[in-house]
Amino acid sequence: MRIVIEPRELQGICLDLRRQGQTVGLVPTMGYFHQGHVSLMDHARGRADTVVVSLFVNPTQFGPSEDLDRYPRDFARDRDTAEKAGVDILFAPEPGAMYAPDASTAVTVDGVSAGLCGASRPTHFRGVATVVTKLFMLVQPTFAVFGEKDRQQLAVIRRMVRDLDIPVEVVGRPIVREPDGLALSSRNVFLSQDERDQALWINKALQAAADLIASGERDPGTALVLARDILAAHAPLGEVEYLEAVDPDAMTPVTRVNGPTVLAAAMRFSRVRLIDNRLARPAAGGEGR
């Protein structure tokens, strides 16, 4: 596995690969790898001639009071994990190499980025869209793989690629969970044992709401009240930041479930904010309740 830290060097290598007719798969990450990241790398490995993984804790997607400084990092472990996953190029730039001190260009994706996480993190998706655009320009990948845990991020990137005619296939891959259902996240290391035990109820609450919809409930409000009650009973150490039913593409709230609907949650525990989601599908046929 080759480790590249200079953006221009990466671009030169990747342009050569594409000229040779190779397919290039990109997995953008912020490191501190877990099985969720490995599943994205595995997917890319199964499809591409060359797999590029970027490892960059992107400062522009963190707000001033957020956890940029204490975001978990372990380069040696990440390097070994990527190597074992068969990654060809690990791109690990310094922030100074990615952003000129007077950088003044950004990509904003309106609408899709406004609700859910965007409501409490108003500059987050601009940072994400900008760095992903830069990675696309550097790697020129055939496809790029993202986890569905950040479902709003995936919707933002899909919209950006569509609107700007970026010739990259955006691939979303399923959430990888612990055996008890907790979605894997680099930030889970910051949970105390009690918080960890309660955090798994985020998934259980979303699943219960999705099951209610699958059994015929069409009012998202009723399903969300059920989820909220479950969290109040089983996760009192956490505070729900949002619990919403949204359209999978537009990420705007739905008032009636007429098709696949994303049930999304963000919950704050003392040192960490967790997100999770489930795709709810209404019962086939009938008007529902």
Binding residues (CB under 6 A) for ligand PAF: these are 28-30, 58, 61, 128, 131-132, 150, 153
Contacts by 283-289 with C-beta closer than 8 Å and gap 24+? 283/213, 283/214, 283/215, 283/216, 286/216, 287/218, 288/216, 288/217, 288/218, 288/257, 289/216, 289/217, 289/218, 289/219, 289/222
Identify the DSSP state of 150: G
> Minimum distance between the CB of residue 58 and ligand PAF, rounded to whole angstroms?
4
CA distance 151 to 146: 9
Find where tokens 């830290």 sit: 5
What distance in Å separates the CA atoms of residue 246 and residue 267, rounded to the nearest whole number? 17
Closer to ligand PAF by Cβ: residue 126 or 218: 126
Burial 208-244 (b: 16+ CB within 10 A, else e): bbbebbeeebbbbeebbebbeebbeeebebbebbebb
What are the backbone angles phi and psi of residue 276, rounded to the nearest 5°?
A: -160, 165
Residue 17 or 107 with smaller CB distance to ligand PAF: 107
Query: Considering the complex, what minimum distance in angstroms separates the CB of residue 56 from ligand PAF?
Result: 6
Burial (CB count <10 Å: 0-12, 13-18, 19+), residue 10: buried
Judge contact between 128 and 158, C-beta under 8 A.
no
Q: Which CB, 107 or 210, lies closer to ligand PAF?
A: 107
- Supply the minimum distance, in Å, between the C-beta of residue 107 and ligand PAF: 12
37 labelled catalytic: yes
> How far apart are CB 57 and ligand PAF at their closest, in Å?
8
Between 57 and 257, name the residue whose CB sits nearer to ligand PAF.
Answer: 57
Residue 42 main-chain phi, psi, to 5 deg: -60, -40
Residue 144: CB minimum distance to ligand PAF, A = 9
Between 129 and 212, CB nearer to ligand PAF: 129
Q: 170 or 209: whose CB is closer to ligand PAF? A: 170
Residue 22: CB minimum distance to ligand PAF, A:
23
145 and 26 in contact (C-beta within 8 Å)? yes
CB 5 within 8 A of CB 94: yes
Which residues carry out catalysis?
Answer: 37
